[in-house]
Amino acid sequence: MSATSNRRALVIGASRGLGLVLADELARRGWQVIATTRRESSELQANADAWNGRLEIESLEMTSPVELSALRERLEGRRLDLLFVNAAIDRGNLPIDEVPTDMFTEVMITNVLSPLRAVEALRGLVAPGGTVAVMSSDQGSISRNTEDGYELYKASKAALNQLMRSYTTRNADDGHTKLLIDPGHNRTRLGGFDAPLAPRESIPAVVDVLEAQAGAPGLQFLDRHGETVPW
């Protein structure tokens, strides 16, 4: 990566939860951060105001190819050391035979197709030696799927991991570090408010991993401690 004061990150999906804390933590460490949100976020705006130019906000509906293309045009000429895509929804704990088709489609578009579209649309902004990272989950680990529940969410994260593997195979020589990150079970709207981790506890460890892995070849699926998550 480039010198500390010049490092630039784009965080997709930073209006709340893990993405909000991730953008703030990067700014705290001296990164220049561009953070996207679908709709106005008072928390994100407050962070941007506090960092006095180190954190800027862009509007993006990630499921819209048109908006992705427009964001790419607005950021033309700005090189990134880190592109981090953070987006996921969960529509409840239903067995797969009870999942309505429109719910299945919504989750797969949001959790799988749209993150990879974002990576494809914005990868050209990532500098040589930069990092492309996507927020995953150990719920996407097939070998760890030994307890019932949340079948659609698990399937979406496994599909996300598989498409990142395909993306890496297709772009093996682009010089980018590629990471799938499992941040642990956090107290967010998605993770539930009885989860064991707070984002303010887990995200600094995630950023440690991002910084430590800069320049590493290939694709890795890592947890917040930098340990490999089994596929």
- DSSP code at position 230: P
pLDDT digits (tens, 9 = 90+) for 155-164: 999 999 999 9
111 is written with which tokens?
């959790």
pLDDT digits (tens, 9 = 90+) for 66-108: 999 999 999 999 999 999 999 888 888 999 999 999 999 999 9
User: Measured in whole angstroms, how far is the alpha carbon of residue 56 from the centre of its chain?
Assistant: 17
Tell me the pTM: 0.94
Q: What is the pLDDT of residue 133?
A: 98
Query: What average pLDDT does the segment 24-52 reach?
Result: 95
Position 2 confidence tier, pLDDT thresholds 50, 70, 90: very low
Distance CA 214, CA 2 (A): 10
Q: What is the pLDDT of residue 3?
A: 45
DSSP-based three-state secondary structure for 117: helix
- Strand ranges across the sheet with 219-223: 55-59, 32-37, 8-12, 80-85, 126-135, 177-182, 219-223
pLDDT digits (tens, 9 = 90+) for 204-225: 999 999 999 999 999 999 999 9
How many other CB atoms are there within 10 angstroms of residue 113's CB atom? Answer: 17
116 is written with which tokens?
């990879």
Distance CA 5, CA 29 (A): 9
**CATH 3.40.50.720 is held by the domain 4-223:** yes
Distance CA 54, CA 79 (A): 15
126 is written with which tokens?
């990532």
Is the Cβ–Cβ distance between 22 and 36 less than 8 Å? no
List the chain domain ranges. 4-223
Cα–Cα distances in angstroms (integers) from residue 80 to residues 117, 126, 186, in the given order: 17, 5, 27
Query: What average pLDDT does the segment 8-15 reach?
Result: 97
Counting beta carbons within 10 angstroms of the beta carbon of residue 121, is it exposed (0 to 12), middle (13 to 18) or buried (19 or more)? middle
How many other CB atoms are there within 10 angstroms of residue 201's CB atom? Answer: 14
Position 6 confidence tier, pLDDT thresholds 50, 70, 90: confident
Distance CA 56, CA 87 (A): 19
Q: What is the pLDDT of residue 1?
A: 41
128 is written with which tokens?
């040589």
Helix (H), strand (E) at residue 55: strand 55-59
pLDDT digits (tens, 9 = 90+) for 169-191: 999 999 999 999 999 886 666 66
Per-chain mean pLDDT for the chain: 93
Q: What is the CA radius of gyration of the chain?
A: 17
pLDDT digits (tens, 9 = 90+) for 187-204: 666 666 776 678 899 999
Distance CA 98, CA 100 (A): 6
Write down the residue that tokens 């951060």 correspond to.
33
